[in-house]
Amino acid sequence: MIDGTASDIAATGFDLVLAAMILGAGLFAVTVRDLFGAVVFFIVYGVFVALAWLRLGALDVALTEAALGAGLTGVLLIGAVARLGRRTGTQGTDALSRRSAFSVRSVSQIATMLVSAAVSVALGWAFLSLSDSDGLRAGVAANLDASGVSNPVTAVLINFRGWDTLLESIVLLAALIGLWSLWRDDDWGRRPGLRQHARADGVLAMFGRLLPPFGLLFGVYMVWVGSSLPGGAFQGGTVLAAVWLLMMMAGLMPPPMVTSARIRAVLIAGPLVFLSVGIIGAFAGGFLGLPPAYAKPLILMIEAALTLSIAATLALLVLGPPGGPAMPSGPGDAP
């Protein structure tokens, strides 16, 4: 849709360059030989994708992608590579993973490539041949006043499709229960994550001391503005999670014990408040219904509790199981 003006051409040029960079970083993340390198490319890729969301006019998604898709997923994968150690990189004991290289070695790999290319072509064609649908813009706009917030994305997340969001916060919790259930029995009751040896005067410790106040402020601010501007429980929760992670990784604060009643209460607070509001609503007229007169305070209460739980759950998910390298250290570790 080039209509000839210079700014449009520049915008299209920017989009094309950005798309090329996304594809390049993605290709490296998928194909590069070294596992650590692949993770680094994946993080870069996530940042580019977040930029693409800005170009698509989806600021809320851009924030989420940058914080969760690139940030936390990246920390999670780097942590995993660190624990697996060099032994299971690409060279060495794992003969199978040598296949993961640029070179095409077998017929099945070529076949896979053709199938994947066909999937891309088919999806690209499907995308271009979609009929024009207005989506639900009009429906959201017409009911925005009754939703209690003025950011349409927050209105959908917490009010119109609050049931999705409630279940999603519980999916996070289920993943954490699953992750913790992978503990070794002897480790139950220990603190999660790798033991940290950050020096008290080191850079990490300095950041750990300097950043949290700002991070806390920024996280709370994001939840607060989420009702009218881009932001919200998940984005704010991610920032808070990052602050807490940083403090734990800098050794300024020990991770909580997995058996601590207090941390468990924090984990369930958000979903439980959300569910309780929903169930009280069911008796008062409609399950998860937020009466327009009280919608704004109810949403703030739900978001505050959700943010706390989401921050704790995300941080602990990224921190992972306790202990050092994941490879067997001796015969005592065998099943």
Partner 1 sequence: MASSSIFGLCGALLIGMGLYGFITHPHLLRRLLAFNVIGSGIFLLFGATAARLPSAATDPVPQALIITGIVVALAATALGVGLVLAYARVTGRTTLPEDGAPTDPGKPPR
Partner 2 sequence: MSVSLAIVALVTAPLVAALIAVILPRWGPWLSLLVVAGNAAALVVLIPAIVSQGALTLPIGGWQAPLGITLRADGMALAFLTMAALVMAAVLVSARPEFGGGGEVTETRRQWAFWPLALLLWSALNVVFLSRDLFNLYVALELLTVSAVALVAIDGKADGLGAALRYLMFALLGSLAYLLGAALLYAQHGTLDIALLADQAIGGRAAVDMMAVGLMTAGLAAKTALFPFHAWLQPAHSGAPAPASAMLSALVPKASFAILIRIWFEALPGLATPPLLVTLGAMGAIAIVYGSVLALRQTRLKLMIAYSTVAQIGYLFLIFPLAGGDSYMQPWAAGAWTGVMFHALSHGLAKASMFLCAGLWIVAAGSDRIEAMRGLASATPMIASAFALAAVTLVGLPPSGGFTAKYLMLTSAFVSGQYVWAAVLLIGGLLSAAYLYRPLAVAFARDGDAVFKPVPRLAQAMPLMLALAAILLGLASQGPFALMQIGRPSSAEAGLQ
Q: Which residues bind partner 2 (CB under 8 A)?
A: 122-123, 126, 129-131, 133-136, 139-140, 143, 159-164, 167-168, 170-171, 173-175, 177-178, 180-185, 188-189, 259, 261, 264-265, 267-268, 271-272, 275, 278-279, 281-283, 285-290, 335
- 308: nearest Cα among 262, 246, 276, 251: 262
Query: Which partner, partner 2, partner 1, none, binds residue 150 by CB below 5 to 8 Å per kind?
Result: none
Q: Does 134 bind partner 1 (CB under 8 A)?
A: yes
> Which residue, 273 or 310, has its beta carbon nearer to partner 1?
310
Q: Does 69 bind partner 1 (CB under 8 A)?
A: yes
- Mark residues 139-178: x for contact with partner 1 by CB under 8 A, - for none: -x-----------xx-xxx--xx--xx--x--xx-xxx-x
Q: Which of 26, 37, 251, 281 binds partner 1 (CB under 8 A)?
A: 26
- Mark residues 268-307: x for contact with partner 1 by CB under 8 A, - for none: ----------------------------------------
Angstrom distance (rounded) from CA 278 to CA 163:
9
Q: Does 34 bind partner 1 (CB under 8 A)?
A: no
> Which residue, 140 or 204, has its beta carbon nearer to partner 2?
140
Q: Which of 102, 132, 330, 331 binds partner 1 (CB under 8 A)?
A: 132
Residue-wise DSSP of 123-155: HHHHHHTPPP--TTHHHHHHHHHHHT-S-HHHI
Query: Which partner, partner 1, partner 2, none, binds residue 129 by CB below 5 to 8 Å per kind?
Result: partner 2
Closest distance between partner 2 and the C-beta of residue 246, in Å? Answer: 26
- 193: nearest Cα among 119, 245, 132: 245
Q: Does 83 bind partner 1 (CB under 8 A)?
A: yes
Query: Which partner, partner 2, partner 1, none, binds residue 131 by CB below 5 to 8 Å per kind?
Result: partner 2
Query: Which partner, partner 1, partner 2, none, binds residue 286 by CB below 5 to 8 Å per kind?
Result: partner 2
Closest distance between partner 2 and the C-beta of residue 156, in Å? Answer: 8
Angstrom distance (rounded) from CA 13 to CA 314:
37
Q: Which helix (H) or strand (E) holds 247?
A: helix 233-249
Using CA atoms in the order 148, 153, 158, 162, what is the torsion angle rounded to 10 degrees? 130
Q: Does 116 bind partner 1 (CB under 8 A)?
A: yes
Residue-wise DSSP of 18-85: HHHHHHHHHHHHHH-S-HHHHHHHHHHHHHHHHHHHHHTT-HHHHHHIIIIIIIIHHHHHHHHHHHHT
Angstrom distance (rounded) from CA 305 to CA 263:
14
Report residue 273 CA to chain centroid gap.
Answer: 22
> Which residue, 174 or 210, has its beta carbon nearer to partner 1?
174
Angstrom distance (rounded) from CA 46 to CA 26:
9
Angstrom distance (rounded) from CA 175 to CA 267:
12
Angstrom distance (rounded) from CA 292 to CA 155:
12
> Which residue, 84 or 220, has its beta carbon nearer to partner 1?
84
> Which residue, 257 or 326, has its beta carbon nearer to partner 1?
326
Q: Which residue has the tokens 């936390």?
A: 72
CA distances (Å), origin 235, targets 50, 59, 311: 13, 11, 9
